[in-house]
Amino acid sequence: MNKILMILSLFLVLGILGSCEDFVQDIDPLIDEVDDELLNDPAQVPFIVKGLQQRFATSAGRVAMLADGLADMLFFDQDLPLATFPSYKEIDEGDIQLDNNTVDGIYNDIGELIFFSDGLLERLDQMDGLTDDVRAEAEYASNFYSGMGRYFLGSYFGLTETQGGGPIDVGPFIPTAQLYAEAIDKLNAALAQAPDTTAERVVNSLIARIYLYSGDYSNAAAFAANGMKDIDEPFVALHNVEWTNRYYQQAGNGRVQWVVDFRFNDYVTADPAEAARIPLREEEGTSMTIYYVQDKYTARESSYEVFTWQENHLILAELAIRNGTGDGLAEVNAVRASYGIGALSSLTLEDLMVEREKTLFCTGNRLIDQRRSGTFHLPSGSWEYLPITQQERNINPNL
C-alpha cells in the first residue's frame, strides 16, 4: 500500500515537474513596457519619432542651461536658499569632477538621442510594408535628430578642459570639427526629406549655425541665406507639465539655483526696452542681496527656444562683418526692432557679440561665443566644456 502511494506521489510530482516550465512562462504581459521587436512595425514609426522628439526636448534645454552656467550668463550662489547642488557649483566654477552626476545625466541623454536616431534608420530595414511617406518621415526625423545630437556633443562636451568633442557608440574620441561635419551631413540628409519649406528653413539655419561655429563663413552664409525668416515662429523643443523646461525647473520659477549675471540687469536698467529680450525678475538671497532670475521660461511647459529667425539674422550680420558682404547693421536693427528696441547706428564684431548674448539669452549659445571669441571668463585650466564623463572613460576602450 505504502509503496503504491509513494509511487503515485512520485508520478504526481514528476507530472508537476514537467509542467513547471510552462507554469513559470505563463505570465501576464507587461503594460508599461514593450519588447524591442514589437516596434519593427510601420504603425509604430510615429511612436518612435515622438521618442526622438522627446529625447531631443529633454536634452536641448538641459544642456543649454548647464552651458549658460559654465559660461558667464548664469551663476550659482549658495546665498540663494535653494541653491544646494554641489554639481552645479563645480560647473559654475569650471572645476568639474569627471563623476559630476549632473553632467552624467545630460551626457547619457545625448547618447540616447544619437542612438535612438541612428537606430531608427536601422529599424526601417526590418520593417515590412513600409510606405514611402512613412519612410520619409522616419528618415527625416532620424537624420535631423542624429545631426542635432552630434552638434550638442561637439559643442558642449570635451575630452580635456579645452578639447571639444566626444565619442559615438563606444568609438574613439571625435573632435568637435569632425562632429560638426557629421552633424552637417545628417542635417543635409534631413534637408532632402524636409516635410515643408518651414522645416527646410529651420534646417538651413541650423546648418548655418554649425558652419559659423566651425569658422566656415562661406558655407554659413550660403545656408543662412536660406534660413529662417521673420515670418517663422521659433523652432522650439516642447515641454509639458510632466517633462518640464529645465530653465524653469532649476533657474526660474520652479527653483532658483542659477541666477543671471548682473550685467544683464545693467542692460535692462540702461534701456528698459531690453526687458523684452532679457526678461528678468528679482530674487532675494539670504544676505538680502538682490539677484536676477531669468523670466523667459516662466512655466513648467514653457518651450525651449532652439532657433529663431532673429538668430539667423544675427548670423547673417556676423557673416556680413566677417565676409565683408551684406548689411550687418540692418540685420541687427531688424532683430532689435522685433523687440521694440531702438536701432544701432554702427556695428562692430564686439557689438555683435553683445547683441548675440542679449538676443540669445538663455539658449546655450553664449558658451560657444565665449570660446570662439576668446573671451572665456574663467581662469586658465578651467573646463570650457562639460567633461566626457568618468563612466564613459571607464568603459570606452577607445578613449
Partner 1 sequence: MNSLVSATASQRGIPAWLNVVLVALFISFTAVQASEIKGLVSDASTDEPLIGANVYIQGTIAGGATDSDGYFSFEYDFEGEVTLVASYVGYKLYSQTVSSSDDLTRLSLKLAKDVFQSEEVVVTGIANKRSKAVAEVAVSRVSASELTDKTNYSSLNQLLNGKVAGVQVRSSSGNIGSGYRFIVRSGGGLNGQGQPVVYIDGIRVENAQMQGEGTFSAGGQRMSTLADLNPDDIESVEVLKGPAAASTYGTNGSNGVVLITTKKGRVSSDPRGSMDVNYKFTSGTNSQSFEYSEEDFVSANDANNIFITGTLRQHNLNISGGNNFIKYYTSFEDRFEEGHILNTWQDRQNFRANIDVIPHEKLNFSVNAGFSQSDAERPQNDNNTLGWLGNTLLFANSYRFTDSTSIANFDDAWETNRFLGGFQASYRPIAGLEARASLGIDNSGTRQDETRPSNLPFSGVVNGERVIWNRDNNQVTADFNVNYNYSLGSRIKATSIVGTQLFDQTLTTNNFSAQNFDTELITEIGAGVDLIAKGETKIHSKTAGIFTDHSLSFDETYFATLGIRNDFASSVGLDAPSIFYPHVSFAARLDQMGIMPGIFNLFKLRAAYGEAGILPEPTDAILRLWEAESGGHGGGAVLSSIGNIEIQPEKVKEFEIGFDTEIFSNYSLEFTYYLQSAEESIIDFNNAPSSGETASPVPFNIGKIEGSGFETLLQGAPVRTRNFQIGFNLVNAYQTNEVVDLGGAQPIFDGFDVNVTKEGLPNHEFYIEDVVGALFDTDGSYLGPELTEDRVALGNPVPDYNGSFSLNITLMRNLNIYGLVDWATGHKVYNNTRRFSVRFGNDPLVNRLRYQLGLSSTPPEGEENLAQFVVGSSEYNAAAVELANNDGNVQSNFIEDGDFFKFREISVNYSLRDLLKNFNYNRYVRDIVIGVSGRNLWTATKYSGADPEVNWRGARSLSRGQDFLTLQNPRSFNVYVQLGF
**What are the grid coordinates assigned to 265, written together?**
540687469
User: Which contiguous run of DSSP H or E holds residue 157?
Assistant: strand 157-158
The correct pick among 40, 53, 198, 382 for binding partner 1 (CB under 8 A) is: 53
Footprint on residues 327-346 left by partner 1 (CB under 8 A): none
Residue 152 interacts with partner 1 (CB under 8 A): yes or no? no
Total residues binding partner 1 (CB under 8 A)? 84
Quote the CA–CA distance of 377 and 237 in Å, as a whole number: 29
Work out how close the CB of 130 gets to partner 1 at its nearest, in angstroms, rounded to a whole number: 17
Site pattern 179..218 for partner 1 (x: CB under 8 A): ----------------------------------------
Residues 6+ apart with CB under 8 A from 209: 220, 307, 311, 315
Query: In terms of DSSP bridges, do strands 157-158 and 386-387 run parallel, antiparallel, or are they unpaired?
Result: parallel
Name the one range near partner 1 by CB under 8 A: 1-9, 132-140, 189-197, 322-330: 1-9
The correct pick among 50, 229, 263, 377 for binding partner 1 (CB under 8 A) is: 50
Residue 104 interacts with partner 1 (CB under 8 A): yes or no? yes
Work out how close the CB of 225 gets to partner 1 at its nearest, in angstroms, rounded to a whole number: 29
Quote the CA–CA distance of 324 and 343 in Å, as a whole number: 21
The correct pick among 34, 43, 192, 290 for binding partner 1 (CB under 8 A) is: 34
Footprint on residues 244-283 left by partner 1 (CB under 8 A): 244, 248-249, 253-255
Name the one range near partner 1 by CB under 8 A: 212-220, 241-249, 332-340, 345-353: 241-249
Rounded to 10°, the helix 132-156/197-214 angle is: 30
Q: Are 73 and 378 in contact (CB under 8 A)?
A: no
Alpha-carbon dihedral angle through residues 121, 122, 128, 129, given to the nearest 10 degrees = 10
Footprint on residues 158-177 left by partner 1 (CB under 8 A): 166-171
Residues 6+ apart with CB under 8 A from 316: 221, 224, 225, 326, 328, 331
The correct pick among 163, 269, 286, 373 for binding partner 1 (CB under 8 A) is: 286
Q: What angle do CA 374, 392, 182 make, to 5 degrees?
A: 60
Residue 88 interacts with partner 1 (CB under 8 A): yes or no? no
Whichever of 60 and 334 has its CB closer to partner 1, that residue is 60
Name the one range near partner 1 by CB under 8 A: 44-52, 132-140, 217-225, 347-355: 44-52
